[in-house]
Structure 1
Amino acid sequence: MVVIPAVAILLVIFVVWQHRLQQQQIRQLAERIAGVSAQQPNQSAELEELRSGVIGVGQRILQLEQALQTIEFNQQALASELEQLTEHQQKIQLFDPDSRLYSRAVKMVQLGAGLEEVMRECELPRAEAELLINLHRQQTS
């Protein structure tokens, strides 16, 4: 009958040992929970900062998209206006023979033609041909 009290004592020792292990695990878990709880306000603040930053970036993107749309609209309007002006200039050049002669004379001067050649080919007086050549020299220098 000595066996039963010895087994009972061993069983009590085992239960006490298990209880201490569980208490130690509970303390460790409580410390981890406390650590996580302490970090939560910081993480919440960081999350709020990130949210604010994302909202700010989103608003900035919207502003930039609107500005881009305005620029594209203005570019299209300017391209249309340029096309109209080019057509108008071409019409004027078709109906104004003097304008065609001056355009040709300017082109010749840009290509390096001399005074006599410009006068002869474009039927311009010497003074006008000299004026065109001098203007071209001033623009290129």
Structure 2
Amino acid sequence: MAIEAVVAFFHAPHVLTALALIVALLAVWLTVRTRRRLRVAETRLRELRHAQQGLDTAVLALHGAIKAVAEEVIDQSQHQSSVRRALDRLADQHSELRLRSVDEGLYVQAIELIRLGRGRNEVRQLCGLTHAEVDLLFSLHGASVARTPVASDMA
């Protein structure tokens, strides 16, 4: 009997109407709540899209800056290589000039010794020249000096 009473109670028109009203209110409340959450989610999505656009712009700007820096580094590297080659050429030229001045100084000294009548061995030892260099200098500048070997040449 108790079950029949409960079933009869729920079949009563005023209870069914009340239940329908509660279900309708619950549906309205859920709809309002869902729409509110949807608006919040849409607002957040717009904010995120705006932020994403800002980040995309920043990434593009950063990419451009990195490219510019890379090009500058390449240019500086090429310039540095050019400067290094120029310095190497200057160092080579300086070495050549220094060697020439040393050689020319030795040759000038040797020619003076030849004109003073010094022997071949003495000129070679004093100036640090090879036999061929001394022979050449004597053939060019020793015309005024007697061709007979000096005693020091025999040693």
Give the corresponding residue for 1:41.
46
Deviation at 1:19, TM superposition (A): 4.3
Q: Percent identity?
A: 11
Deviation at 1:45, TM superposition (A): 2.4
Return the alpha-carbon distance in structure 2 between the equivalents of residues 29 and 4 of structure 1.
Answer: 34
The structure-2 alpha-carbon separation of the partners of 1:99 and 1:39, relative to structure 1 and needing over 3 Å to count, comes to farther
Return the alpha-carbon distance in structure 1 between the equivalents of residues 6 and 58 of structure 2.
Answer: 73
Deviation at 1:48, TM superposition (A): 1.5
- What root-mean-square deviation, in Å, do the aligned CA atoms of Structure 1 and Structure 2 show? 2.9
**Amino acid in the other structure paired with 1:74:** H
Deviation at 1:15, TM superposition (A): 5.6
TM-score, normalised on structure 1?
0.57
Deviation at 1:81, TM superposition (A): 1.1
Does 2:83 correspond to 1:83? no
**Amino acid in the other structure paired with 1:49:** G
Does 2:11 correspond to 1:8? yes
Deviation at 1:27, TM superposition (A): 1.4
Return the alpha-carbon distance in structure 1 between the equivalents of residues 90 and 34 of structure 2.
Answer: 81
Deviation at 1:25, TM superposition (A): 2.3
1:93-104 aligned at under 5 Å gives the runs: 93-97=98-102
Return the alpha-carbon distance in structure 2 between the equivalents of residues 99 and 20 of structure 1.
Answer: 116
1:1-141 aligned at under 5 Å gives the runs: 2-9=5-12, 12=16, 16-97=21-102
Deviation at 1:98, TM superposition (A): 8.9
Larger Rg: 2
Deviation at 1:7, TM superposition (A): 3.5
Give the paired residue count.
100
Return the alpha-carbon distance in structure 1 between the equivalents of residues 75 and 36 of structure 2.
Answer: 58
Q: Between Structure 1 and Structure 2, which shows a larger proportion of helix residues?
A: 1
The structure-2 alpha-carbon separation of the partners of 1:45 and 1:3, relative to structure 1 and needing over 3 Å to count, comes to closer
Give the corresponding residue for 1:110.
none
Deviation at 1:62, TM superposition (A): 0.5
